Amino acid sequence: MTLIQTLCGSAAMLAACQAGAADLTVHVDDVKSGGGALVVAVYNSAGSFLRTALSSASSPASGATGSVVIKDLPAGEIAFSVYHDANANGKMDRNLLGIPTERYAFSNNALGKMGPPSFEQARFTLPAGGASVRVSLR
């Protein structure tokens, strides 16, 4: 194989990978205060859900609603969590019992019983063309 063939093949594979990248826009309602940031983490399996994010992004919180765009995600089954980092300390604040003190939501507005929802409750299919979804903080 010549160098030119190798470079052309590599360029084609890179273009194919980028063409499969989808953007996810998360519209967040019920933001109770301005300031801080809306933080979204995306997961692609039950094993990684709420442990190891596939990707994450944030956007300044400035009103009752906000949006966060996560770029270049692979199409397929995903779930996300979002929280309002109201004090801009870079983490989800919790009380002594481990209960979140900052407002949060999950994809599909999924609710868990005595804890967060499962990946199966929050998952949805991200199409190759991307998607725009809406959740409400609680």
- Find the CATH number of the domain harbouring 129: 2.60.40
Mention every residue, 6+ apart, whose C-beta is less than 8 A from residue 49. Answer: 43, 79, 118, 119, 122
The count of C-alpha atoms lying within 13 angstroms of the C-alpha of 3, restricted to the half-sphere facing its C-beta, is 0
Share of the chain above pLDDT 90, in %: 82
Report if residue 7 sits inside a domain.
Answer: no
Give 9-45 pLDDT, tens digit per residue: 444 444 444 446 899 999 999 999 889 999 999 999 9
Report if residue 15 sits inside a domain.
Answer: no
Report if residue 61 sits inside a domain.
Answer: yes
**Which sign does the torsion angle of CA 52, 57, 60, 66 carry?**
negative
Domain count along the chain:
1
Q: Which residues of the chain have pLDDT under 50?
A: 1-19
Report if residue 47 sits inside a domain.
Answer: yes
Residue 92 is part of which domain span? 22-136
Q: Are the C-beta atoms of 38 and 62 separated by less than 8 Å? A: no
d(CA 133, CA 24): 8
Report if residue 27 sits inside a domain.
Answer: yes
pTM of the model: 0.85
Q: What is the pLDDT of residue 20?
A: 63
Q: What is the pLDDT of residue 34?
A: 85
Tell me how long the chain is.
138
- Phi, psi of 14, rounded to the nearest 5 degrees: -65, -45
Q: Are the C-beta atoms of 20 and 72 separated by less than 8 Å? A: no
Share of the chain above pLDDT 70, in %: 86
Report if residue 11 sits inside a domain.
Answer: no
